[in-house]
């Protein structure tokens, strides 16, 4: 007789009980799977199964014994159809599936015979992979063993035919998803290097086409599953996306002091998995190819061809290795160069030899070979292979300090070390424009080496580290000094160009001092600036920023060469729009708004607001854009001849912006009420509170930046009302804004304000002492 029905709530309890305190690890997951097995065995007994001919088997995470707190259940009801009729099969399936559904647990189920499983394994790739984890939970064990044997035999016989599809799936994930190792919010399951890739690696091993390093993959899988378990325990949901909001709690549950330390460990695991997948796919493709290692009857005529290159470099079976009999000191680096230039992989033995290489300074000849490697088209792929084997850090002192180091800025797409390689790749397009391409490549490799996540100025901290590394790489003292200067100043050009008044002599002078009045260093800095920004992400570089950077670079180039050129006009469309608005304001005596015609295909709109100058005008313009929820990326505010012109670049196409008449009417209202404190209160939601000390605002006095004004920089976490709050504080102190330059980059905004008193003079020291704390307060609101 069937026993009393199992309460559905018990399954939900069992699924989470093993992780109630957030504990994880292989033993905990095995214990958890055993608890679920016990519940399912009770369910099987309650279902009154036949004495033989049926079994309940698990696949997926339960089949592997690595079930998480919120994992789905993947079950197969196996039936010997010669002993179980359709009616009995339907009754048994209902008795099993409905209690699980009633518990609210997500269930993926199927009812199949061993022959049907065998057929599916030969035709449906994804189903075949899942059936490889088949494990008996209850019922006739021999039936499950027979089915598992059939599935694996069919998988091995069909694997060569299905391997191309499996390889495509592995490669497509890299295009469809991000790379777990370099993501700020990684998907532990689907990103490249995640749990799905482990399943693919193990499926290849089951096909006998290619094997992998089981210890490496198992350790990496455990790291990822620990994070998954902790994430699902924290959120109570079946999520595998490690969002920023959950990273601190997940890190604590997994035993890490900080979220950055945990992300670094996840990156290390993901890179190991990615490399193992790369090796596995390569080996499987070679084995499945005609005449490959999986082909019977190979003879001497099928021996892989051996090619020899200079310095003892060999290529055989599509891999780069070295001749151990050659003692050329550049031999190993020449192999790295060959791999980076051709895209061929380094052989495992060569990678192991490079990992054992003592960390000693390079000779000039070795340095030149390494620089050639940095110019190779496949340098990123070669770097990943070297780094996973622990070989790259031996070449560059200090590299371990940035390896797998996450970046908290949303502008950046990659970890610090991978960003360096992306910058090298971007710098390759500038090699013909500089007189020292070797210094450009090496500086690109080292420019963020001081970024250790401790909140310090990474440019200043990185300069001595980069100098030391350059010397170790074989560069002379003078060249190492140039590398250190470029690292120290690698943000200077873009910051001056986008956040300072380019008409002020002090802006040009600051750039000339940064490059030591050396034209060659200037050109290197210009190339490094663009390469760094493009490597960071699409929001870090635009045609507008490029125009500003090019304009300031040209001014510096002219100053250093003594060239007297025709007067330059910065951003002709911007100037034309400003002139049109200024003319309209002068003609009408009232505020005006203009959208200039777009100059490129970027989803950014330029908007010009103009009005007669006076106290509170700057704040009124800022409130208009804040109230209309316009996302400002950059801005330039200029006051001349009694007219203030506010030029902004906002996110979105012109068709997505408010009509100019709407903004003009809003500006008129703001100007009419600018002396009424109650009318100046903004009704926009505040920004998110700071999470760390790095999110706190920084207000800095920039002495000597402009002879006729006091220049103050406000660097703060961006929010819709930030500029309006800063402008309001300026109005309350009865100060004038001669010009302002605003730049937003990710979640930070940098506002450089050229301020004067009511008489147009630089601020007195006493006023500076009052206004800096006031601006700090406004930026913190």
| Same domain, yes or no: 727 and 711 | yes
Least confident of 5-19, 432-446, 744-758: 5-19
pTM of the prediction?
A: 0.74
User: Average pLDDT in the 348-377 region?
Assistant: 91
| Same domain, yes or no: 276 and 202 | yes
pLDDT at 600: 55
pLDDT, tens digit, 9 for 90 and up, residues 113-129: 999 998 888 777 788 88
Report helix, strand or coil for 294: coil
In a domain, 666, yes or no: yes
| Same domain, yes or no: 590 and 643 | yes
| Same domain, yes or no: 112 and 257 | no
In a domain, 685, yes or no: yes
**% the chain with pLDDT above 90:** 40
| Same domain, yes or no: 52 and 192 | no
In a domain, 441, yes or no: yes
pLDDT, tens digit, 9 for 90 and up, residues 593-624: 888 766 555 567 889 999 999 888 988 998 89
pLDDT at 768: 93
In a domain, 414, yes or no: no
| Same domain, yes or no: 623 and 679 | yes
| Same domain, yes or no: 135 and 251 | no
| Same domain, yes or no: 65 and 186 | no
pLDDT at 552: 94
Q: The CATH number of the domain where 468 resides is what?
A: 1.10.3210
| Same domain, yes or no: 153 and 196 | no
Determine contact, residues 92/47, Cβ cutoff 8 Å.
yes
In a domain, 411, yes or no: no
Task: Give the whole-angstrom CA distance, residue 39 versus residue 36.
Answer: 5
Determine contact, residues 125/166, Cβ cutoff 8 Å.
yes
Domain containing 747 equals: 573-780
pLDDT, tens digit, 9 for 90 and up, residues 738-761: 888 887 765 678 888 999 998 889
Determine contact, residues 141/123, Cβ cutoff 8 Å.
no
How many domains in the chain?
A: 5
| Same domain, yes or no: 334 and 248 | no
Final residue in a domain of this structure, among 570, 589, 610: 570
In a domain, 412, yes or no: no
Q: The CATH number of the domain where 25 resides is what?
A: 3.30.460.10
| Same domain, yes or no: 142 and 27 | yes
| Same domain, yes or no: 444 and 471 | yes
Q: Residue 328: beta bridge partners?
A: none
In a domain, 408, yes or no: no
Put the strands of the sheet holding 592-594 in their side by side order.
Answer: 592-594, 604-612, 643-651, 632-640, 736-745, 748-756, 710-717, 698-701
In a domain, 83, yes or no: yes
Distance of CA 679 to the CA centre of its chain: 42
Final residue in a domain of this structure, among 288, 322, 347: 288
Q: In whole angstroms, how far apart are CA 679 and each of 313, 619, 670?
A: 76, 12, 8
């Amino acid at each position: 007789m069937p026993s009393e029905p199992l309460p559905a709530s018990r399954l939900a309890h069992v699924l989470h009980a093993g992780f109630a305190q957030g504990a994880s690890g292989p033993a905990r997951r095995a214990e958890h799977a055993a608890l679920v097995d016990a519940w399912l065995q009770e369910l099987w007994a309650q279902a009154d199964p036949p004495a033989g001919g049926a079994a309940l088997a698990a696949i997926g995470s339960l089949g592997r014994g690595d079930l998480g707190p919120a994992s789905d259940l993947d079950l197969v009801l196996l039936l010997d159809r010669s002993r179980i009729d359709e009616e009995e099969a339907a009754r048994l399936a209902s008795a099993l599936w409905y209690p699980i559904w009633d518990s609210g647990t997500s269930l993926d189920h199927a009812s199949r015979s061993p022959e049907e499983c065998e057929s599916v394994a030969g035709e449906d790739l994804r189903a075949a992979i899942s059936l490889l984890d088949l494990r008996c939970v209850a019922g006739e064990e021999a039936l499950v063993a027979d089915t598992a044997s059939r599935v694996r035999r069919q998988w091995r016989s069909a694997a060569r035919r299905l391997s191309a599809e499996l390889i495509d799936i592995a490669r497509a994930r890299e295009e469809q998803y991000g790379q777990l190792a370099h993501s700020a919010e990684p998907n532990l399951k689907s990103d490249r290097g995640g749990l799905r890739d482990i399943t693919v690696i193990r499926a290849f091993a089951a096909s006998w086409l290619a094997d992998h390093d089981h210890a490496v993959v198992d350790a990496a899988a455990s790291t990822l599953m620990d994070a998954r378990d902790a994430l699902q325990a924290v959120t109570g949901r079946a999520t595998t996306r490690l969002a920023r909001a959950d990273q601190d709690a997940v890190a604590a549950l997994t035993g890490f002091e900080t979220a950055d330390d945990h992300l670094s460990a996840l990156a290390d695991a993901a890179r190991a998995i990615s490399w193992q997948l790369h090796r596995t796919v390569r080996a499987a493709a070679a084995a499945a190819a005609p005449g490959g290692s999986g082909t019977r009857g190979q003879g001497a005529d099928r021996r892989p061809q051996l090619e020899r290159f200079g310095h003892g470099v060999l290529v055989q079976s599509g891999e780069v290795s070295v001749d151990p009999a050659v003692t050329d000191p550049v031999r190993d680096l020449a192999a790295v160069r060959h791999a980076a230039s051709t895209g061929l992989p380094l052989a495992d033995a060569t990678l192991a030899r490079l990992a054992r290489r003592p960390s000693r300074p390079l000779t000039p000849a070795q340095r030149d070979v390494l620089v050639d490697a940095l110019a190779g088209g496949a340098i990123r792929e070669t770097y990943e292979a070297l780094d996973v084997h622990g070989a790259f850090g031996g070449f560059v002192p200090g590299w371990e300090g940035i390896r797998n180091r996450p970046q908290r800025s949303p502008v950046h797409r990659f970890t610090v070390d991978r960003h360096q390689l992306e910058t090298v790749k971007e710098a390759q397009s500038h090699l013909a424009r500089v007189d020292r391409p070797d210094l450009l490549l090496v500086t690109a490799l080292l420019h963020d080496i001081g970024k250790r996540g401790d909140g310090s100025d990474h440019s200043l901290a990185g300069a001595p580290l980069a100098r030391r590394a350059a010397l170790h790489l074989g560069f002379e003292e003078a060249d190492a000094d140039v590398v250190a200067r470029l690292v120290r100043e690698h943000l200077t050009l873009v910051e001056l160009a986008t956040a300072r008044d380019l008409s002020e002599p002090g802006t040009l002078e600051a750039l000339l001092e940064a490059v030591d009045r050396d034209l060659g260093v200037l050109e290197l800095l210009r190339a490094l600036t663009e390469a760094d920004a493009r490597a960071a992400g699409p929001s870090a570089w635009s045609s507008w920023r490029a125009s500003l950077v090019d304009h300031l670079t040209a001014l510096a180039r002219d100053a250093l060469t003594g060239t007297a050129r025709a007067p330059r006009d910065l951003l002709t469309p911007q100037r034309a729009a400003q002139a049109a608005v200024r003319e309209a304001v002068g003609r009408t005596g009232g505020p005006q708004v203009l959208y200039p015609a777009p100059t490129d295909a970027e989803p950014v709109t330029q908007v010009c607001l103009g009005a007669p100058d006076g106290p509170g005008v700057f704040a009124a313009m800022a409130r208009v854009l804040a109230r209309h929820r316009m996302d400002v990326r950059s801005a330039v505010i200029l006051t001349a001849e009694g007219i203030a012109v506010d030029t902004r670049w906002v996110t979105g196409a012109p068709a997505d912006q408010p009509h100019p008449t709407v903004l003009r009417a809003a500006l008129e209202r703001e100007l009419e009420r600018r002396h009424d404190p109650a009318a100046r209160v903004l009704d926009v939601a505040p920004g998110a509170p700071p999470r760390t000390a790095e999110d706190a605002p920084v207000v800095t006095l920039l002495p000597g930046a402009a002879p006729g004004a006091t220049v103050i920089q406000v660097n703060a976490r961006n929010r819709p009302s930030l500029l309006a709050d800063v402008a309001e504080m300026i109005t309350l102190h009865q100060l004038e804004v001669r010009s302002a330059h605003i730049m937003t980059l990710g979640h930070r905004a940098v506002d450089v304000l050229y301020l004067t008193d009511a008489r147009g003079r630089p601020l007195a020291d006493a006023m500076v002492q009052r206004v800096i704390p006031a601006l700090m307060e406004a930026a913190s609101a």
